[in-house]
């Protein structure tokens, strides 16, 4: 099923890393914060960082959720990543490094500017 423009924008909106860790944030935001602090990490390392930031979280409960979320964002192209030593490592380079491409505003579709 094809996404409408609005659905596409919602599904593929850029990730936003919270400026500080807060226990009130969603698990997804906590994962992004932990990954940003690490710079580059695999899912297990992100879980380790989360348990340091929030001792009430248990690594056993986080493992599959963290891995699934990171892989989903990677598959969408919102996170960078690659395999090292048989493990998938992720980073936020897509967010932290500016795009060096150029945009011709005359070629933009209406509503995208």
DSSP of 29-43? HHHHHHHHHHSEEEH
Q: Which residues contact 43 (CB under 8 A, 6 or more apart)?
A: 63, 66, 67, 70, 88, 90
- Enter the pTM of the model: 0.76
Burial 18-34 (b: 16+ CB within 10 A, else e): eeebeeeeeeebbbbbb
Which of helix, strand or coil describes residue 82?
strand
Q: Which of 31, 42, 33 is nearest to 90 (CA)?
A: 42
- pLDDT tens column, 18-47: 999 998 899 999 999 999 999 999 999 999
What domains are there in the chain, each with its CATH number?
Answer: 16-93 (1.10.10.10)
- pLDDT tens column, 46-75: 999 999 999 999 999 999 999 999 999 999
């Amino acid at each position: 099923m094809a996404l409408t423009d609005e659905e596409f924008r919602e599904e593929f909106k850029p990730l936003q890393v919270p400026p500080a860790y807060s226990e009130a944030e969603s698990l997804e935001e906590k994962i992004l914060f932990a990954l940003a602090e690490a710079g580059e990490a695999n899912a297990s390392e992100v879980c380790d960082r989360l348990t340091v930031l929030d001792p009430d979280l248990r690594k056993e409960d986080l493992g599959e959720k963290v891995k699934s979320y990171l892989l989903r964002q990677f598959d969408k192209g919102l996170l960078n990543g690659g395999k090292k030593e048989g493990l998938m490592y992720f980073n936020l380079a897509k967010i932290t490094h500016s795009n060096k491409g150029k945009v011709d505003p005359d070629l933009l579709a209406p509503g995208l500017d």
